[in-house]
Amino acid sequence: MEKDYWLERWKQEETGFHQNEVNPYLRQYWQELHLATGSEVFVPLCGKSRDMLWLSEQGYAVLGVETSAVAVQSFFKENGYIPNQTSSENFDRYDASGVRILCGDFFDLSKHDLAKTSAVYDRASLIALPPEMRERYADHLLSILPPAAPILLITLDYPQQEMAGPPFAVSANEVEALYHERFTIRLLSQLDVLTQEPRFQERGLSRLQESVFLLTPHR
């Protein structure tokens, strides 16, 4: 999953992974983080997710990172915003109405970029990456994330041999392996959603499990 893969997906409008509605798990479980209004929420690999709009409407500052300028510009255009644009060495920065998106490579983010982050919302980051990149992703995230920040994580799991990702299968055991040293991991929800996803049935899946995890930093 090199950067060019995702740039091409956005360029060709092959964005079946994009959800036009706010994620229902976000609405249902966000309060579990007990985050103060005004806190900054980091949304990695954010695309043009409407979840960022919802978080902003709840009174949070939103920080996204996205490699595709097409996705970033579409987010602001589709939601009726004209962002202020600035550039730095690694990122083009877009700001409007409480949402700031850094357009560039996730792995170029530093502690400075996330210094004010109070929580992470990951719906489509971990599952977008193949196995060989997920450990690198988690390691980098934890190296730049303030130590007290919790994570709301949504994953998919299915027999990986039945379908080539993305999205990739991420099991509860893998979530534990990636994050247990820093977080207490609590499973909030786990549902079989295959009947609700005909496009995955068509790709031959026999099982599709969606899970929601709350990762709380160890005290």
Give the tens place of pLDDT for each residue, 131-160: 999 999 999 999 999 999 999 999 999 999
Give the tens place of pLDDT for each residue, 161-182: 999 888 999 999 999 999 999 9
pLDDT of 165 reads 83
Please state whether beta strands 92-96 and 99-103 pair in parallel, antiparallel, or not at all (unpaired): antiparallel
Measured distance CA(187)–CA(138) in Å, rounded = 18
Measured distance CA(180)–CA(15) in Å, rounded = 32
Measured distance CA(23)–CA(50) in Å, rounded = 8
pLDDT above 60: residue 23: yes
> What SS3 state is found at 21?
coil
Measured distance CA(77)–CA(69) in Å, rounded = 12
For 107, phi then psi, to 5°, come to -75, -5
Please state whether beta strands 99-103 and 40-43 pair in parallel, antiparallel, or not at all (unpaired): unpaired
pLDDT of 15 reads 54
H-helix or E-strand containing 134?
helix 131-144
pLDDT above 60: residue 16: no
In eight-state DSSP terms, residue 148 is T
CA dihedral 66, 69, 73, 76 (to 10 degrees): 10
pLDDT class of 18 with cuts at 50, 70, 90:
very low
All domains of the chain in start order, with CATH: 3-11+22-217 (3.40.50.150)
Give the tens place of pLDDT for each residue, 25-44: 999 999 999 999 999 999 99
Is 75:101 a contact under the CB 8 Å cutoff? yes
pLDDT class of 12 with cuts at 50, 70, 90:
low
Distances (CA, A) of 16 to 104, 128, 131: 22, 12, 21
